[in-house]
Amino acid sequence: MEEMKDIVLEYVIEEYLEDEDEEIDYDTPLISGGIVDSFSMVSLKRFLENKYKISIPNEKATPDAFDSVNKICTLVNEFVK
């Protein structure tokens, strides 16, 4: 789980964070904080699916479930065998 959190956090920083001075952690609000918008969520979902060889149903990929690295990892773990 810890390793997954680091991977997801690093990906979010690399791909979605525009302000290089902004610091985020596992609990930083991503969707409600405006770091990842609803359209970009599709690419984040795709990253998780590719990386962990899973398929996340659309009804599970809600803004709330994607709102922090911690929440994302909890969701991903539901599908990782």
Partner 1 sequence: MSNISSYDERIKNFDWSISENELGYKEGDVINIGWYCSDRICQQGKADKLAFIWEGLGGKEKKYTFNDIRINSNKFGDFLRNLGIKNGDRVCLFMDKIPELYIGFLGILKIGAIAQPLFSAFGDESLHVRLDNAETKAIITQKRHVSKVRKILDQMPYLKHIIIVDYDGRKPLREREIAFSMDEAEPVENLEIFPSKAETPSVLHYTSGTTGQPKGVKHVHYSIISQYLTTKWILDLRDDDIYWCTADPGWVTGTSYGIIGPWSLGITQCVLDTGFSAESWYKFIEKHKVTVWYSAPTAIRSLMRAGDEVVKQHNLSSLRHLASVGEPLNAEAVIWSEKVFGKPFQDNYWQTETGSIMISNYPGMKVKPGSMGKPFPGITATVLNPKTYEPWEESGKIGLIAFKPGWAAMLRTYWRNEETFKTKFKNGWYISGDRARIDKDGYFWFVGRDDDVINTGGHLVSPFEVESALLEHEAVGESAIVAKPDEINMEVVKAFVHLNPGYEASPELELKIMNFIRKKLSPLAMPQEIEYVDSLPKTRSGKIMRRILHAKEWGEEIGDTSTLEDDE
Work out whether 34 is an interface residue with partner 1 (CB under 8 A): yes
Cα–Cα nearest to 9, from 75, 73, 76, 78: 73
Does position 55 interact with partner 1 (CB under 8 A)? The reply is no
65 close to 72: Cβ distance less than 8 angstroms: yes
In whole angstroms, the minimum distance from the beta carbon of 6 to partner 1 comes to 19
- Judged by beta carbon, residue 2 or residue 59, the one nearer partner 1 is 59
Q: Which of 64, 77, 78, 80 binds partner 1 (CB under 8 A)?
A: 64
For binding to partner 1 (CB under 8 A), which residues are involved? 15, 18-22, 29-34, 36-40, 42-43, 46-47, 49-50, 59, 62-64, 67
